[in-house]
């Protein structure tokens, strides 16, 4: 299946921080939110912007509803392991961690294929803990359909509201991963992200920074919502 969803204009705020930055630094950075389209000063000790306003993303045609509650969503699908560590905070409340928020992610496998029908691989939900954190064990998504490789997510702080967006991955990182099996079974694009207008519109704000972790990688990201 393909995913041709677009980025509608959104007022939802997404707070970005390096994985090593503490909540105290986040709070300090969020005390003076940036104007739309402009980044606030980076938290102390980090090179990543503080509070920025970023466009949201449509769920796309491959969203099939809330997934199963679980941390490991691989279901044995082959691929380079990726540990995704997320923290959800409320920007409007001084970037305080948000406990009890449902975080739903879904993505393509190494061949660029989404699960559908009775299949449920690479889909899942976690609920944030008292520190606003949750962890997913997944794989690096494959490329497909001329779009930048990505991982979709929704954050539901309650039963009535949600924030929908997607994470991207750096070109150099993708080229390295796609040279490995099972990704190398297909000839990957030379510049995986260059073909996608959505990446150019929001990639800088929504790009993960994976670091080596055992046989795979891990990436931390702090998502701020209204």
Q: What does the pLDDT look like over 116-132, one tens digit per residue?
A: 999 999 999 999 999 99
- pLDDT tens across 162-209, in order? 899 999 999 999 999 999 999 999 999 999 998 898 898 877 788 999
Residues 6+ apart with CB under 8 A from 206: 14, 54, 165, 166, 167, 168
51 falls within a domain: no
200 falls within a domain: yes
- What is the percentage of the chain residues whose pLDDT exceeds 70? 75
First to last CA, the chain: 32
The count of domains in the chain is 1
164 falls within a domain: yes
Task: Quote the pLDDT of residue 47.
Answer: 31
130 falls within a domain: yes
- pLDDT tens across 46-63, in order? 333 344 333 467 787 788
225 falls within a domain: no
Structural domain boundaries enclosing 118: 56-86+100-219
95 falls within a domain: no
**CATH code of the domain containing 158:** 2.60.130.10
60 falls within a domain: yes
44 falls within a domain: no
Task: Quote the pLDDT of residue 56.
Answer: 67
Angle of CA points 100, 104, 107, to nearest 5°: 160
Cα–Cα distance for residue pair 22/215, rounded to 1 Å: 26
Cβ-count burial 205-218 (b if 16+ within 10 Å, e if not): bbbbbbeeeeebbb
């Amino acid at each position: 299946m393909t995913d041709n969803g677009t980025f509608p204009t959104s007022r939802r705020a997404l707070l970005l921080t390096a994985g090593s930055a503490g909540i105290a630094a986040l709070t300090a950075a969020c005390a003076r939110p940036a104007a739309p389209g402009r980044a606030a000063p980076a938290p102390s000790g980090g090179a990543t912007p503080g509070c920025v306003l970023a466009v949201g993303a449509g769920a796309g045609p491959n969203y099939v509803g809330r997934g199963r509650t679980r941390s490991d969503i691989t279901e044995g699908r082959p691929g380079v392991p990726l540990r995704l560590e997320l923290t959800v905070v409320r920007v409007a409340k001084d970037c305080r961690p948000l406990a009890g928020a449902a975080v739903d992610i879904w993505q393509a496998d190494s061949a660029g294929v989404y699960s559908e029908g009775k299949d449920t691989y690479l889909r899942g939900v976690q609920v944030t803990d008292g520190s606003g954190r949750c962890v997913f064990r997944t794989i690096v998504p494959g490329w497909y359909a001329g779009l930048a490789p990505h991982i979709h997510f929704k954050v539901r702080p309650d039963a009535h509201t949600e924030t929908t967006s997607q994470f991207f991955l750096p070109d150099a990182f993708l080229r390295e991963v796609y040279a490995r099996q099972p990704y190398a079974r297909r000839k990957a694009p030379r510049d995986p992200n260059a073909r996608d207008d959505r990446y150019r519109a929001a990639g800088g704000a929504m790009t993960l920074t994976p670091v080596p972790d055992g046989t795979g990688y891990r990436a931390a990201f702090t998502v701020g919502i209204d």
